[in-house]
Amino acid sequence: MRIIGGTYKSRVLAEFAGNDVRPTSDRAKEALFNILSWDVVGASVLDLFAGSGSLGLESLSRGAAQVTFNDVAKASVAIVKKNLAALKLTADGKKIRVSNLDFSLCLQSQTAPYDIIFIDPPYQLDIGLKALEIIAQKRLLNEKGIAVYERDRAFEGEIEGLEKFDERKYGKAYLTFFRLQ
């Protein structure tokens, strides 16, 4: 797993051994950031189910102003911190924040909206829908903000307060894009 573009392009990231954690593939990540393109520059980003931190680190590499990494698993938080250190970055509480909270507690604790929120929970846990509901209820996206939900099947249904405006499939992964209504 590596960073695809920007300042830290081609830097290899630490990742988990085994199959317990499924990182976003390089192909899907490259396509995702091509879609987001200039929306990332200067953005405030929440990597809600950070895992190794790949999506948040890619955002920093491409010019995000602020990234919050969150994961409930202490092992994931340790990998995020290891990857930050490898890039000579530290969690300073302003530009880079790292939290070890359940996704719902993380979202409930947010007071300012984000430009981009990545929702990439473990596929076997269907908790991304709950995350989207909280994001809509708390209006955690700014006016032009985007929430990107990754899972192993197409999105069906609606989330009150959010509009699904795009969906793409890359290998086994579906990327679904939402914005406030």
Q: Tell whether the model's pLDDT for residue 116 goes beyond 60.
A: yes
In whole angstroms, give the CA distance from residue 127 to residue 129.
Answer: 5
Domain membership flag for residue 41: yes
Tokens for 180?
């406030």
Put residue 39 in one of left, alpha, beta given phi > 0 → left and psi -120 to 50 → alpha.
Answer: alpha
Q: Give the number of residues written for the chain.
A: 181
Domain membership flag for residue 11: no
Tally of domains in the chain: 1
pLDDT band at 24; cut points 50, 70, 90:
confident
Domain membership flag for residue 12: no
Domain of residue 67 covers 26-180
pLDDT band at 22; cut points 50, 70, 90:
low
**Mean pLDDT to the nearest integer, 34-53:** 95
Q: 49-60 pLDDT, tens per residue?
A: 999 999 999 999
Domain membership flag for residue 40: yes
- The CATH number for 116's domain is 3.40.50.150
Domain membership flag for residue 20: no
